């Protein structure tokens, strides 16, 4: 059931339309992926935060229940596996159909909209098509089969960048008129770095990587570059902040055994902000991204970034970050050293990040919903 009566929920969730469309019919967004520790969970959390800050006519489906976005953010839900599959594909479609929504949004490519209800999906990237070997075999096969089917059946596909939109047309055969670009968002990461320094007994300067450790993040090239960076800056440490995803055990051993490298494992949101805020520089050596949140999060704390020339990273960060010539260790080394020797305007970085607010992202998603009468 919805929290409170249906009329009360509609009154709470209603927002002012920007056109003459019917505002009485809600949109529904599936939110079981709030428990996801990766980028999908972060995207969904920030989107719901944006919805909760405006009078959005949006209902959230989570844990087999319907509730407001703000209630969903405080709802404890950790069901996964078969229970999540059953919720999103059997329980929720029937429950959602009972309120006749204008559109159902699948932000994590999981779940099923009720029959004859328009469906929106969010496609964050096409790494599974670009290079299937970046993923464990079964996951790679699942992504390639499932994402293609879901995107092909969707009425509208939201993408994180123009780069991903172009790839969706080329690699998935999605018509351009079904694609809408909605850039991702961040809140402010500006925080007291002393909590991180104290917890990890870190006294000197450091540069940082933030993200899940997996093959496409190109961490091995960053480690290869570290010997020269640490030779030039012997007082510097390299912090690898993030959980281990998958990849060769030899890389994990190098991260644990290389002098000057600190592998933190997964950090809480508060600790991650403290970590980023204290860094001299964020290095993001990824081979491919659909958007790449960490450089934006660093900018919100006034911390500069080095990024590789992946298409989406160039699209979003070329005006504010140091873009390496290539993905190889030498290119990364050169860019790190250049950036460390450059004066950066922290206020300009924070101003750049402020244009990627949760409210802006939510507003752009609402405009997509409005195309279907919300």
User: For 154-173, how does the pLDDT look when each residue is reduced to its tens digit (9 = 90+)?
Assistant: 999 999 999 999 999 999 99
Q: CA 306 to CA 336: how far, in whole Å?
A: 6
Q: CA 40 to CA 123: how far, in whole Å?
A: 10
Best-predicted range by mean pLDDT among 54-63, 71-80, 305-314? 305-314
Res 139: pLDDT: 81
Supply the pTM of this predicted model.
0.90
pLDDT tens-place string over residues 21-49: 345 689 999 998 888 878 889 999 999 99
Q: Report CA Rg, the chain.
A: 21
Give me the long-range contacts of 38-46 (CB less than 8 A, separation at least 24).
Answer: 38/212, 39/124, 39/293, 40/107, 40/108, 40/124, 42/293, 43/107, 43/122, 43/124, 43/184, 44/107, 44/108, 45/73, 46/184, 46/185, 46/186, 46/187, 46/358, 46/361
Q: CA 182 to CA 164: how far, in whole Å?
A: 11
In the 8-state DSSP scheme, what is residue 123? Answer: E
Average pLDDT over residues 111-117: 89
In the 8-state DSSP scheme, what is residue 244? Answer: B
- What the block records as the tokens of 59 is 């209902």
Of residues 80 and 8, more confidently modeled: 80
Question: Is the CATH number of domain 194-353 3.40.50.2000?
Answer: yes
What's the CA dihedral at 339, 345, 348, 353 to 10 degrees?
A: 50
Q: Report the run of H or E that residue 43 belongs to, with start and end.
A: helix 39-52
Query: What 3-state DSSP class applies to 139?
Result: helix
pLDDT tens-place string over residues 199-220: 999 999 999 999 999 999 999 9
What's the CA dihedral at 51, 54, 57, 63 to 10 degrees?
A: 30
In the 8-state DSSP scheme, what is residue 118? Answer: -
Give yes or no for a contact between 61 and 95, defined as CB atoms under 8 angstroms apart: yes
Name 9's Cβ contacts closer than 8 Å, sequence gap at least 6: 2, 3, 59, 68
Q: CA 140 to CA 358: how far, in whole Å?
A: 31
Res 374: pLDDT: 58
CATH architecture of 6-185+357-370: 3-Layer(aba) Sandwich (3.40)
Q: Is the pLDDT of residue 84 over 80?
A: no
Q: CA-CA distances (angstroms) from residue 290 to 134, 203, 266, 302?
A: 15, 35, 22, 23
Q: Are strands 205-210 and 65-67 parallel, antiparallel or unpaired?
A: unpaired
| Cα angle 30-31-32, degrees, rounded to a multiple of 5 | 110
Give yes or no for a contact between 296 and 184, defined as CB atoms under 8 angstroms apart: yes
Question: Model confidence at 7, in pLDDT bands (50, 70, 90)?
Answer: very low
CA nearest to 265, candidates 240, 286, 297: 240
Average pLDDT over residues 186-208: 97
pLDDT tens-place string over residues 244-275: 999 999 999 999 999 999 999 999 999 999 99
Res 137: pLDDT: 86
Domain extents in the chain = 6-185+357-370, 194-353
Q: CA 38 to CA 94: how far, in whole Å?
A: 29
Average pLDDT over residues 85-106: 87
CA nearest to 3, candidates 60, 48, 51, 53: 60
- What the block records as the tokens of 253 is 């051993």
């Amino acid at each position: 059931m919805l929290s409170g009566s249906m009329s009360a929920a509609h009154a709470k969730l209603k927002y002012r339309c920007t056109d003459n469309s019917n505002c009485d019919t809600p949109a529904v967004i599936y939110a079981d992926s709030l428990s996801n520790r990766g980028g999908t969970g972060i995207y969904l959390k920030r989107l719901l935060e944006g919805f909760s800050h405006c009078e959005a006519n949006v209902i959230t489906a989570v844990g087999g229940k319907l509730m407001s976005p703000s209630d969903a953010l405080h709802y404890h839900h950790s069901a996964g596996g078969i229970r999540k599959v059953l919720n999103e594909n059997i329980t929720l479609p029937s429950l959602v159909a009972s309120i006749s929504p204008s559109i159902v949004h699948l932000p994590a490519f999981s779940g099923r909209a009720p029959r004859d209800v328009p469906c929106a999906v969010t496609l964050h990237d096409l790494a599974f098509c670009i290079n299937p070997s970046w993923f464990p075999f079964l996951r790679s096969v699942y992504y390639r089969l499932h994402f293609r089917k879901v995107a092909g059946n969707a009425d509208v596909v939201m993408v994180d960048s123009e780069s991903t939109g172009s790839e969706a047309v080329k690699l998935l055969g999605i018509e351009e008129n079904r694609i809408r670009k909605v850039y991702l968002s961040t809140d402010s990461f500006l925080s007291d770095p002393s909590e991180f320094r104290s917890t990890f007994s870190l006294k000197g300067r450091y540069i940082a990587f933030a993200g899940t450790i997996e093959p496409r993040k190109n961490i091995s090239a960053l480690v290869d570059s570290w010997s020269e960076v640490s030779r030039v800056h012997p007082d510097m440490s390299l912090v690898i902040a993030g959980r281990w995803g998958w990849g060769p055990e030899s890389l994990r051993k190098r991260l644990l055994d290389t002098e000057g490298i600190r592998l933190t494992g997964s950090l809480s949101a508060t600790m991650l902000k403290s970590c980023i805020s204290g860094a001299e520089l964020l290095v993001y050596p990824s081979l491919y991204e659909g958007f790449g949140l960490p450089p934006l999060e660093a900018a919100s704390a006034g911390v500069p970034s080095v990024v590789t020339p992946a298409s989406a990273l160039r699209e979003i960060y070329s005006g504010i970050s140091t873009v390496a010539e290539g993905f190889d260790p030498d290119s990364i080394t050169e860019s790190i050293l250049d950036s460390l020797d450059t004066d950066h305007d922290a206020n300009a970085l924070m101003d750049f990040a402020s244009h990627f607010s949760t409210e802006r992202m939510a507003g752009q998603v609402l405009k997509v919903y409005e195309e279907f009468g919300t």
